[in-house]
Every structure is written in C-alpha cells, then in structure tokens.
Structure 1
Amino acid sequence: MAPRMKEDYRSLTGPQKAAILMLSLGEEQSSRIFAMMDDEEIKEISQTMANLGTVNAGVVERLFVEFADQISSTGSLVGSYESTERLLMKTLSKDRVDMIMEEIRGPAGRTMWDKLGNVNETVLANYLKNEYPQTVAVVLAKIKADHAARVLSLLPENFAMEVIMRMLRMEAVQKEVLDGVEKTLRTEFMSNLARTARRDAHELMADIFNNLDRNAENRFMSALEERNRESAERIKQLMFTFEDLVRIDMAGIQTLLRSVEKDKLGMALKGASDTIKELFFKNMSERAGKMMREDMDAMGPVRLRDVDQAQSAIVVLAKELAASGQIVISEGREEDELVY
C-alpha cells in the first residue's frame, strides 16, 4: 500500500517540513546541509524523510514561500556553539579549534576539566578514591580550589594525605600524564591544557586549604605537620583567612565594606575575633555599626558552617579586590604591619 499523500500543510510538523525541504534541494545541496548537523539532527530528519510518503506539489510550494518569508522578514541567522565549531573545523586544525572553543564556551564548556567541575563532589570523590593518588593529584590540581577542597575532605584520610604529598611534589604536568588521566577518566581531552603554566604546589595547597571547613583543615594540617612540618608551615604562611583581613589598611576595609553583602558580613563577624570585629566597626558610621550589631544579635546562635561560608566568601572578595588593585593586602611581615 502506497504511503498516504501529504496534502494538509497545517498538519506538518517541524521535522516533516525540514525533511520536505531537504528532499527538494537535491543531493548536492542537502548533503552540504547534512554535514553541518549533529548526529541526532541527522537521525531525526532521515527517519522523517523515510516515512514521509508522497507530498502534494502545493504543499511543497507553500513550504518554500513560508521559508522565504521567514528568512526575509527576520533578516537574521541563528548560530550556536556546535555550528560554529563545525565551521571552524573546515578551515583550522583541531588543536586551534579546541583552544578557540574552550575560550568562547567559558565555564559551561565541554572540556574534561569543565565537566569535572560540574560533577557533585561526593560522586567525584567516590570515583577518585579508587584511582592512584598521583591521578587524583593531577585532577585536583586542575579543577577549582573550592571544588578540590570539598572532594579532598570526602576522601579517606590516609588516601587524602597521599594525594596532598603528591600535589606538593608535583612538577609541571606533562602532556603524557594528562593523556593518561584522560584515558582513566574516559572523557574528552584538550591538548592545549598540557601547556598551562606551572603553579607553585604550596600556593595551590594553601588555596585548597582555605576552602576546607575548619575541622577538615585542622585534621589535614595536623597530619601534614607530622609528615612534613616544613611544607605545613609554608602552607600556613600562604593561607589567607578571615582573621588575616587585619593586613588590609583602613581605606581597603572601607572599600571592602562597600562591596560586601551586609547580611553575609554580619554572619562572618559572629564567629570573628574581637580584633576583626573592631576593625570593621571602626570603619563604619556609628549608625551603620549600631544596625550591624542589632542584626547580629537578632541572628541568635548560628551554625559554624554558615559562619565559615560567609567568612570564606568575604576572603574571596578581598582577594578579587586586591587582584584588581582596589585594595592592598600587606605581606604579613613585621615591617608590613599596620600602625593606627
């Protein structure tokens, strides 16, 4: 029995319209369009084409008129990451395309490290605890410090210490090592990642330790002091905590006050030393200071975890302001101490 003829234009679905258009264009033109589609698009349109049956000439004509009207009325084209990547691949090498696409995709990209950054820390820790400590060290060195800290705190303690020791001894990551990690993780790999600049291992660990909660930080630091006191002391010196905000001058604290969320500051100060509290209050107006104290009193007892999170957020903000030159953080040496 011959397939039913398509006569009612209004009943056509989007894929059916696309299938009719592709059949009407001829092999050469349609093959060029197929080359610009992904596998799922090709599969859907091909299946629709196969089941299309006979199409009335009037339906085809109306489809072309509608298509031409839509293109001319909008005067625009719709692009996507995928179509851009396919176009670049026709003229550039894969390495260059990977590099360009990684830049324009930003945080939501599709590189191995982007994907790992979006994996729940519990899931990632459960996977990594069965890998070699060296493999885990490479992974934690490549993902963001706050994410690495959460993963590290979920690993078995002895295993986590093995990872920390390898991270401290790790030299610049070679392409061969990254290739091995790619194979282990069974995910895509971007060759330009092998060319990333080396970062000091102790600075990296200090950044990760800054993002640990207090219990995990104390636990790992105590264990590290037993195994390598020199590294532990160096990491302590490099760590920047909420209490280290005393290293910012008055103008810097006022800049920080203008940038920080007031409820977050109140939560952070609930668990701060008297020195830090006084530092902030004396840089506020009398009215603002009174309101802040009232807000803090109204909070009542608060969870240590919430205080840690608020303090960590303010430390990150302070670092960002310092990096952009808006505030200055002294090195903490005796000759750099501030005198009021």
Structure 2
Amino acid sequence: MSDEELTDIEKAAILMISLGEEDAAEVLKHLGPKEVQLIGEAMTQLDNVPQSRVEGVVSDFMHLVSDQTGIGINNDRYIRAMLNQALGEEKAKTLLDRILATTNTSGLDTMRWMEPRQIAETIRFEHPQIQAVVVSYLEPDQAASVLAFFDDKVRLDIMMRVAALDRIQPQALQELNDMLEVQFTSSRSGQSRVLGGVKQASEIMNFIESSIEAELMENIREVDEGLANQIQDLMFVFDNLIDVDDRGIQVILREISTDVLLLALKGADSALQDKIYRNMSKRAAELLKDDLEAKGPVRVSEVEEAQKEILATARRLADDGEIMLGGGDDML
C-alpha cells in the first residue's frame, strides 16, 4: 500500500504515534472525543509501519502546514471509546486527564468523554428535563447507549422531552453547567444552543438496540401518533442505503472494512446486496459473494452492530457533505 492509499485518519494515527505521548497530548487536546476515537481505532490497526511510510506521512503533514497559517480543529463530533485499546487503559487515562486538564471544557462537554453508564448514573436522579437536555447534547450513538441504562418509562419520558426541545437559553444552559461543574472542568458560554427536536430524537433512535427501539417507538406512538410518524420518517435505517446514489455507495465502501460489510450484508435483502456488488470491482464483488455464501450462521446482534457501524459512517460522510442520504435534495 502506498502513502496515497492511506486515509487521513490512518495518517493522523501514524503521526500521533510518531510524536510520542507528550506531544500527542498537546495535539489531541484540540480534538473532540470522537475524533480521538477515530484516531485511536486507526492506531489499533497499525502494525510494523515501515519507516518510509512514517517519513512520507510526516513529509505530507509538513507540506500541508507550510501552506497554512493555522489549522482549525475545534469540534466535538466523536467519542473516545477505542483509545483504551490503542494505548492501554492506564496510558489512555493519563493522556485524557492531561487533555481535559489543559482545555476549557464545560460540564456538558466533559460528559462526551464519559462512558454511557457513568453518564446515566450522573443524571439518574435529576429532573427529567435535565436528563433530556443532557441526552440531546450528546452524540446520537452515545445518547442511545445512555438511554439503554434507564427503564422503559424513563426512556419514554426522556425521548418525548428530547423531541419537544428546540433551543435552550444561555442562563438555563449555564445553570446546568454550574451543576455539573461541581465535579467537572468549568467553561462559560454566552450563546444559546439548539438542542433536541424531532430530528435529534430520530438520530438517537437510529442507534438504539432494535428490540428497545421497537418498544420505545410503540410507546411514543401510544402517547403521540403524529410525533411517532415524524420520528419514523426521519430515521435512516440500513435498508435505506438502497436510495443512496452509486457514487455515494462507492464513497461509503471505501470507508468500511470487508469484515464489517460481510456481516452487515448477512441481514440485507437481495436488492441492496446487488446494489453493493454493482459498486465494487467485478473481482471484489465475486469474492464478497463467495464469502457471504460460505459464511455460517451469525448472531443477529452482530449483524445489527455491523449495520449500525456502516450507518454511522454514512451519516458522518453526509454531515461532511461528501454524500447525500435518501436520494433527496437535503443533506442529513
């Protein structure tokens, strides 16, 4: 594989390993939780990287920096889950502590670095409206994992409130931050935040485990059928990939591993399978078909996990403006 075949994330992972822990921490403190996750995932897959490739990556980076006056890295789009696998639990904890200690991170922002169970325990006895604001503030996949730690009745209440949210005023947001910053790092913000809404609720639903999702959707429908229909219309599920154009499918395929694709297609209908095959090289499609036929029974949970990974990739690419989902004019 040449350096040109490396993804940007793989190049970033090589660069971080080359820098060492201290310098890597200085870089990573400017990234959001999920950016750290993506780099961490890539780091786990690096093995015996040739010196020539490291030099190529560093050279590319220096060339890029020399043409710019600054690098703008300041968003919270990704979480930290795989960093432990990349560096080991102790090193990862030390690194994350250093990052959080040297950045202005609000109570809500800090929650994005926490494990879902820890977040659930932190807000378990808070008012449902506070719970809804926190869940809305998290990334949809993380929010879905947090909701899994509540019972059906609480989940329903939170999701109804998430769907009803629109904008939270600075004072209310600051009061919530003040409450959380008793134990988290402080940060002040004077801007109102758009949180929640039907779209956010639908994105969270996309990540909830299937059996929980079905029950929760039915509960929402019993309370407000119109809202349930709105959420259902906005949800993007694996079968909806059939509506993504060929170029979009090709972009998605470049971002996912064959193993994940193989598992995901075990639960796909023939029309979607055919669409995937058409957007691969003839040789790659034949190999995938053979592997799919030879693949023995797999757990439904494994298939769902693989499909959700592909959906997460598709949503990220759509958010970055690289593909369109649903075949319409709107970008998700």
Q: Shared fold (TM-score greater than 0.5)?
A: yes
Q: What residue is the counterpart of 2:158 in the other structure?
A: 163
SS of aligned partner of 2:148: helix
Name the CA shift for 1:104/1:145 in 2 (closer, same or farther; >3 Å). closer
Q: For 2:188, which of 176, 181, 191 is the aligned residue?
A: 191
State whether structure 2 residue 277 is matched by structure 1 residue 281.
yes
Shift of 1:170: 1.9
Q: What residue is the counterpart of 1:145 in the other structure?
A: 140
SS of aligned partner of 1:326: coil
Shift of 1:302: 1.6
- TM-score, with structure 2 as normaliser: 0.64
Mapped contact 1:179–1:189 kept (Cα < 8 A): no
Name the CA shift for 1:207/1:104 in 2 (closer, same or farther; >3 Å). closer
Q: What residue is the counterpart of 1:124 in the other structure?
A: 119
Q: What residue is the counterpart of 1:205 in the other structure?
A: 201
Measure the CA separation in 2 of the matches of 1:237 and 1:104: 28
Measure the CA separation in 1 of the matches of 2:233 and 2:327: 10
Q: For 2:176, which of 161, 176, 181 is the aligned residue?
A: 181
Task: Provide structure 2 residue ranges, at least 5 long, that are not aligned to the other structure.
Answer: 1-22, 30-72, 80-98
Deviations 1:223-255 (A, max 9, x none): 101111111111111111111111112232223
Measure the CA separation in 2 of the matches of 1:119 and 1:145: 14
Give the RMSD, CA atoms, in angstroms: 3.1
Q: For 1:234, which of 226, 230, 243 is the aligned residue?
A: 230
Q: For 2:300, which of 290, 299, 304 is the aligned residue?
A: 304
Measure the CA separation in 1 of the matches of 2:195 and 2:114: 24
List aligned pairs for 1:29-68, cutoff 5 A: none
Q: Which has the higher helix share?
A: 1
Mapped contact 1:175–1:191 kept (Cα < 8 A): no
Q: What residue is the counterpart of 2:323 in the other structure?
A: 327
- Equivalent pairs counted in the alignment come to 238
Mapped contact 1:161–1:220 kept (Cα < 8 A): yes
Name the CA shift for 1:111/1:284 in 2 (closer, same or farther; >3 Å). same
- Counterpart AA for 2:229: E
- Counterpart AA for 2:252: L
Task: Provide structure 1 residue ranges, at least 5 long, that are not aligned to the other structure.
Answer: 1-77, 85-101
Q: What residue is the counterpart of 1:27 in the other structure?
A: none
Q: What residue is the counterpart of 1:295 in the other structure?
A: 291
- Counterpart AA for 1:190: S
Name the CA shift for 1:298/1:111 in 2 (closer, same or farther; >3 Å). farther
Q: What residue is the counterpart of 1:28 in the other structure?
A: none
Name the CA shift for 1:280/1:203 in 2 (closer, same or farther; >3 Å). same
- TM-score, with structure 1 as normaliser: 0.62
State whether structure 2 residue 85 is matched by structure 1 residue 114.
no
State whether structure 2 residue 251 is matched by structure 1 residue 255.
yes
Shift of 1:200: 5.7
Mapped contact 2:106–2:188 kept (Cα < 8 A): no
Mapped contact 2:108–2:177 kept (Cα < 8 A): no
SS of aligned partner of 2:241: helix
Name the CA shift for 1:179/1:305 in 2 (closer, same or farther; >3 Å). same
Measure the CA separation in 1 of the matches of 2:139 and 2:323: 24
The percent identity for this pair of structures is 28
Name the CA shift for 1:199/1:131 in 2 (closer, same or farther; >3 Å). closer
Mapped contact 2:241–2:326 kept (Cα < 8 A): no
Name the CA shift for 1:105/1:134 in 2 (closer, same or farther; >3 Å). closer
Measure the CA separation in 1 of the matches of 2:152 and 2:76: 36
Mapped contact 2:110–2:185 kept (Cα < 8 A): no
Mapped contact 1:138–1:167 kept (Cα < 8 A): yes
Measure the CA separation in 1 of the matches of 2:194 and 2:243: 28
Give the number of the structure whose alpha-carbon radius of gyration is greater: 1
Deviations 1:39-73 (A, max 9, x none): xxxxxxxxxxxxxxxxxxxxxxxxxxxxxxxxxxx
Measure the CA separation in 2 of the matches of 1:104 and 1:122: 23
